[in-house]
């Protein structure tokens, strides 16, 4: 019975491949790739002729039988378009299924945009929260940021370049314009750049300069003893939660933790509106 290897691939520069990853791709009986067209650029570059099949969000159920048939007699290498499989892609479902069926799952270390952006940001990396891709809808993004506004961990997220300016504006509004932020663009590619500054500064910059390519956001955690929320901000958060159907008692309790208010005071605002 074969093993499933989780093989990171370059997030930009093709030289980001490790020697071990190249060996595994050559020795595997099958490569399961998120996009075979993208992955063949890599395999052609390194003269790898291992058979390849696609495995992505839209065909993952249909491909399971073929992948496990290959695993019954040999090793399979799982790769994504870029970076480490299982991070914000359907790879984790295949990994979980392989574990459930008794196959060895062997993860290889390698390229990953979120850790590369984190260490390049200059922000604390001892504790961080990975948020995946930020919500597209403004209301959901606001709610997420409100929930995290009092957390001291560094926040890391992926974002579309087309929504970057709007997301930075929301970060400035909810977390404060002075909150340190880093925008990592095109990591490991020719035009890689790290933009570091306050939420207001980067919001202003990207309002007039929409970037292209992959974007990773790194946001500093809240400072100990961060400023207490204003009444207007508390009322706004309370109103949003109530409109979403949350009970007043629970909403007041959660907001009080984030805002530095007493629950009773937040609760009372719910009757004032």
110, 7 Cβ separation under 8 angstroms? yes
Tens-place pLDDT, residues 18-63: 999 999 999 999 999 999 999 999 999 999 999 999 988 888 777 8
pLDDT attached to residue 229: 73
Can you give the pTM of this predicted structure? 0.80
Average pLDDT, the chain: 91
pLDDT attached to residue 227: 60
CA distances from 178 to 174, 198, 222, 226 (A): 11, 5, 11, 12
pLDDT attached to residue 218: 98
pLDDT attached to residue 45: 97
Rounded to whole angstroms, the Cα distance separating 165 from 107 reads 35
**In which region does residue 214 sit, left (phi positive, over 0), alpha (psi from -120 to 50) or beta (all else)?**
beta
- Percent with pLDDT over 70 in the chain: 97
The set of residues, in sequence order, having a beta carbon less than 8 Å from that of 204 and lying 6+ positions away, is none
Tens-place pLDDT, residues 60-83: 777 888 899 999 999 999 999 999
Tens-place pLDDT, residues 85-105: 999 888 889 999 999 999 999
pLDDT attached to residue 115: 96
pLDDT attached to residue 132: 94
Rounded to whole angstroms, the Cα distance separating 119 from 6 reads 23
């Amino acid at each position: 019975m074969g093993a499933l290897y989780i093989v990171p691939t370059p997030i930009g520069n093709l030289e980001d491949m490790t020697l071990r990853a190249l060996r595994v791709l050559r020795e595997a009986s099958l490569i399961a790739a998120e996009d075979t067209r993208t992955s063949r650029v890599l395999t052609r570059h390194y003269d790898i002729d291992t058979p390849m099949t696609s495995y992505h969000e839209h065909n993952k159920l249909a491909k399971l039988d073929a992948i496990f048939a290959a695993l019954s007699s040999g090793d399979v290498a799982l790769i994504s378009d870029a970076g480490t499989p299982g991070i914000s892609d359907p790879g984790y479902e295949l990994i979980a299924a392989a574990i459930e069926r008794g196959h060895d799952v062997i993860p290889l270390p390698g390229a990953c945009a979120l850790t590369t952006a984190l260490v390049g940001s200059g922000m604390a990396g001892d504790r961080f929260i990975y948020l995946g891709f930020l919500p597209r809808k403004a209301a959901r993004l606001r709610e997420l940021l409100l929930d995290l506004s009092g957390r001291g961990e560094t926040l890391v997220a992926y974002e579309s370049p087309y929504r970057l300016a709007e997301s930075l504006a929301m970060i400035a509004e909810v977390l404060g314009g002075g909150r340190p932020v880093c925008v990592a663009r095109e990591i490991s590619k020719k035009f890689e750049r790290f933009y570091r500054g306050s939420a207001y500064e980067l919001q202003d910059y990207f309002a007039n300069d929409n970037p292209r390519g992959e974007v990773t956001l790194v946001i500093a955690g809240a400072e100990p003893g961060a400023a207490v929320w204003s009444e207007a901000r508390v009322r706004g958060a309370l109103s949003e939660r109530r409109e979403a159907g949350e009970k007043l008692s629970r909403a007041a309790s959660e907001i009080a933790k984030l805002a530095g208010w007493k629950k009773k005071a937040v609760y009372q605002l719910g009757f004032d509106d």
